[in-house]
Structure formats: structure tokens, C-alpha cells
Amino acid sequence: MNEELRSRAKKWPKGNHFEDFELGHVYNHHWGRTLNEGDNSLFSSLTLSYNPLYFNADYARAHGHSGPVLNPMLVFLTVFGLSVEDLSEAGGFFLGVDELKFHRTLYPGETVTARSTVVDKRESTSRPNHGIVTWHTEGFDSRGERVIDFRRSNLVTRRSTER
């Protein structure tokens, strides 16, 4: 890379740090995502999710659905992804998901939105420049009905470690 260009570059900080999170604070993630048949078919194929409910309309109808259903893992990862900008974009290790619940089936053409609430926050005992934050994330359909929820935790950098 050109050194002159590199010398003019400025770091653009993204995301929130440990100090920014307060217990009980609610983040209404501003992007929604409409999941279509192509998203569903491609995701299911790439992840080797060959359940015919996800891509065979006749099979899905024979099992009581109006057509193919959205792969629940696509719904989960979409809702998770909608939360990243507010919760974990600043970096830090992902520590896991707990209490994942799927509340109802979704179909192609559905738009999902997400919100997260800070439910736990503590200092890291092994990494003094980090803390651990846990959020309860919920995903909603276009009618505002909850379709999924889970708890997720990340190791989050402290603001003092930013350079």
C-alpha cells in the first residue's frame, strides 16, 4: 500500500466497548432483513441442510405447510447478524449462545427484526483489558410476533485498550 495514503488513513472506531453497556439497556437493532426463497435455498444447500421442508414445495405442503419453510438456522443467524453492529462489532471473542428457542415457523418473504437487552455484565478475571457482556436477543416477524430468542455472550474490550 502506498505509504502516503497509509499516513493519511484514520482509524474509524466501530461498535461499543465494555463501559458502554448498562444492565437493562435495550438495543432496537435498526436493520430488518426480508428472507426470500433464494436465501433459504442457498443457505440450506451451502450448509448441507437437506431437509426437504426447506426447498421442496410439494413435500412441505404434504406436511401441513403452505410451501417451503425458512431454515431455522438461517433465521437464527440472520437475527444474530442484525445485532452485531450494536453489540459486538468492536471485537472480542464470541463466548456462546444459550437458551436458543424457536417460537414458530417462518416462510420465505418474511421480514425479521431484532432487539437485544443487556442482562449481565462483569469484569473478566483472566483478561483485565476485557469484560464479559451477555444479551438476551429476540427476533420478530413483520407483525411484531416473537419468532426466536436466545442469550449470547462476548468478551468485550474495555475502552482504555483502544489505540
Give 42-71 pLDDT, tens digit per residue.
999 999 999 999 999 999 999 999 999 999
Among 21, 17, 15, 27, which residue's Cα sits nearest to residue 121? 21
13: pLDDT strictly greater than 90: no
Average of per-residue pLDDT values in the chain:
93
Scanning the structure block, which residue is given the C-alpha cell 476485557?
130
Query: Distance between CA atoms of 83 and 10, rounded to whole angstroms?
Result: 26
CATH class as words, domain 17-35+80-161: alpha beta
Confidence of residue 4 (pLDDT cuts 50, 70, 90): confident
User: Residue 108's pLDDT is what?
Assistant: 97
On whether the CB atoms of residues 36 and 108 are closer than 8 A, the answer is: yes
State residue 161's pLDDT score.
Answer: 54
pLDDT score of 118: 98
Total residues found in the chain within this entry: 163
Instruction: Give the model's confidence band at 163: pLDDT under 50 very low, under 70 low, under 90 confident, else very high.
Output: very low
